[in-house]
Structure 1
Amino acid sequence: MAAIAEPGAVTLNCPNPESLAEFYAQVTGWQKIFSSESAAYLAGQNGMRLGFVKSDGFEAPTWPNATNRVHIDFSVADLDKAEAELVALGASKPEVQPGAGKWTVLLDPSGYPFCITTMG
């Protein structure tokens, strides 16, 4: 089947695009390709981008909450080491952890949940 479209970017609303872009630049090693007061974008492999757009009145998602329907999963070599490094960058680890040692849920500095896993 021929593709109709390819994912180009995942974009998160947030209160401070520049600081959230910096956090994810350190997480991924991706290069910042655009930054303004209202938006910032990182470029990754194969043209994939991660974007951050300023949202006035932003309310962070809550974890665990069934209305949180989107999150990013990151593959890591060592779960414990990656968790420690990400927390040092500003992530936090919520109490609820449904991964049973297979993955860990963390919250970025804006409160978005994301997962790290060794399962690739």
Structure 2
Amino acid sequence: MPVATFCLVALDCPEPRELAEFYRELLGGEVKRYGDDWYDLFAADGTRLAFQRAPGMRPPSWPQADDNSQQLHLDLRVTDLGAAERHALELGARPLDTDDDEGRREFRVYADPAGHPFCFVYGT
């Protein structure tokens, strides 16, 4: 029998309001502020992401490097990779692995404005 239930993922970042707004633009929903150092995004699908101020945060590298593991990444399901990519880049995302040359068309990897990796995963 479980003793806990999942409630959110919290991302460290230098500017929590800006990162919460970035993900709100991707996922929809509502951003709520809990002081200057913590913001929550209650996404349209019920998912909850939190953003915590961490002034000394170092973004993970992609792909993993021996001295700085990626720690985690978010997978975001999309129905149109091209449209999702254009929107994310307009919001300040940076491409990390978008190579479709080998026939891979089901996912692409980006960094959010704070440097956290996330993937757009094609699916319906």
Q: TM-score under structure 1 normalisation?
A: 0.87
Rate the CA distance shift 1:106–1:118 in 2: closer, same or farther, 3 A.
same
RMSD: 2.2
Partner of 1:91: 93
In structure 2, the partner of 1:59 is 58
User: Tell me, which stretches of 5 or more residues in structure 1 are unaligned?
Assistant: none
Hey, what's the Cα distance between the residues in 1 that align with 2:45 and 2:97?
35
**1:115 pairs with one of 97, 108, 119:** 119
In structure 2, relative to structure 1, the CA distance for the partners of 1:79 and 1:29 (3 Å cut) is: same
Identity %: 34
Whether 2:13 is the aligned partner of 1:14: answer yes
User: Once the two structures are superposed, what CA deviation does each residue of 1:48-104 show, in whole Å capped at 9, x if it has no partner?
Assistant: 310000112111111111511311101111011110111011101025759922100
Q: Distance in 2 between matches of 1:119 and 1:3?
A: 30
- 5+ long unaligned stretches in structure 2: none
Name the structure 2 match of 1:41.
40
C-alpha distance in 2, partners of 1:45/1:3?
27
Contact map agreement 1:97 1:105 (CA 8 A) in 2: no
Contact 1:64 1:96 in 2 (8 A): no
Alignment coverage as a number of residue pairs: 119
